[in-house]
Structure 1
């Protein structure tokens, strides 16, 4: 996976008004490609909605923004194609019923089928498997997630991951599509001071690779371009919750439909992968890699 060129993010008097009032308004930013942008503000001040609006997932109602020269809200679909979501609670949560390898395989399958070039679907099965394994390996390395350190390697259940490990897994899945903009919500939630430092170091490493990063947090680091949201009224929290619920419902419905269609279309590949997987847990790093390659085949 080649290092993507980051997307510049610009906004002027950017705002979103819901049925009960303003969610956020008056947002201005001018950040070049490969920037670290932090959205800082109290809970209920529209931070998540701002993140979704800047990634083309929610339609703004005032002002305008530009992401990678795609103007919002007019070109939301174009922005969605270059902006990926890392962890955003309530929108793209990891599935606790899956193993890490299964979660990675699902992410790779959906990305290849719905975001990758059509010609990729026409390649021979073996070539697709090799490409998928390589993309997963590269994304894991970029996210700093070493499967060999997990309790059961790639067969570790998602529900057993520590908070920072979950963040890294979500980031790895987002990186499978080589996004120009990566957005993360509640980055520092439930992290110790040391873990917060690790999380920000992870984002800085992605910036060094050329990716623009947008992160919602409670306290931004000194080297970030900071966007601050302020609750406009007592109904702001309600407005944000309503908007997020609507966006979540639409996103989840789309994801379920896509996953069902992808699972049906790729049933033969899935069966072959399951039959060829080693039932025993890996005892060393090589075993972990083999298990991931088997489970991650598409």
Structure 2
């Protein structure tokens, strides 16, 4: 099997606005194939919307971006075909009632049905079954998940998986399609320090294998190309993000990139202390950002 070839990801003044505010704005990014890209920021800062826009699942409002030479938003459908989603709450989630085997079997069948060539569909059933099993085994190996080590092997239900095991399963399911870009949301959510290190080791190994990885997180790892969505408001109407320039080490290639986001309508992340009995009302700009993110999700049909 040929090694997957990652997609280069670039963006310039990339932004997405809903009817009532910006989800993100002013993104600049330049990442080579096989890079590990971290979208860093607190929940509600537009990081998931940025991930979905860069994978062709949300339509940007301004600027330009390219994924694997495909332009966004003009070629969104083509970008969706070369990208795959790992866990993204509300968009791509594991069914807790399914077993590991059921998830793997379903994904392999869908892959064969919608992405397989006509010639592949006409091959003998034994050959098709063997090919599907090979894809599954390769994806599991890349994701570092050995079903034999689970409590009930492949018959283990998703609800019985640990958080890190569920992450590995989601990544394996995405890799069955051999995408050029893998996107993962909430990478470090509810993980201990040791588990967080394992999760990033997993995603770095996927990038080392040649697949570009785009991961949302609260704290980016060392060596990732980082886009920060965390904002600090300096006035009632203006907020800017920090700018980082990091070096990505993906396989034998090394790349450096700078990714900036300016969210003029973004909310202040730090909240002022409240006096006893007092109530705090969000500013107009905070409401605009929250509502802009909600509107962007609504446009996907998954509000």
Q: How many residues align?
A: 250
Question: In the alignment, which residue of structure 2 is the partner of 1:258?
Answer: none
Asked if 1:172 corresponds to 2:172, the answer is yes
SS in 2 for 1:247: coil
- 5+ residue gaps, structure 1: 251-298
**Offset, 1:122:** 1.7
Aligned twin of 1:226: 226
Tell me the alpha carbon deviations over residues 254-289 of structure 1, each in whole angstroms, 9 at most, x when there is no partner: xxxxxxxxxxxxxxxxxxxxxxxxxxxxxxxxxxxx
SS of the residue 1:249 aligns to: coil
Deviations 1:22-45 (A, max 9, x none): 110000000001101000112111
Partner of 1:159: 159
Number of the residue aligned with 1:243: 296
Structure with greater strand percent: 2
TM-score, length of structure 1 as denominator length: 0.81
5 Å-filtered alignment, 1:111-126, equals: 111-126=111-126
Q: Deviations over 1:172-223 (max 9, x none)?
A: 0000011111000000000000000000000111111111000000000120
Q: Which consecutive unaligned segments of at least 5 residues does structure 2 have?
A: 232-262, 267-284
Is the 2:6–2:212 contact (alpha carbons within 8 Å) kept by the matching residues of 1?
A: yes
> Is 2:29 the counterpart of 1:29?
yes
> How far does residue 132 in structure 1 lie from its aligned partner after superposition?
0.6
CA shift digits 1:142-193 (9 cap, x unpaired):
0000101100000001111110000000000000011111000000000000
SS in structure 2 of the partner of residue 164 of structure 1: helix
Task: Report the Cα offset of residue 248 of structure 1.
Answer: 5.0
Query: How does the TM-score come out when normalised to structure 2?
Result: 0.80
Q: Distance in 2 between matches of 1:207 and 1:248?
A: 31
- Give the distance between the partners of 1:168 and 1:9, measured in 2 at CA: 24
**1:193/1:234 Cα in 2 relative to 1: closer, same or farther (>3 Å)?**
same
Q: How far apart are residue 243 of structure 1 and its match?
A: 2.1
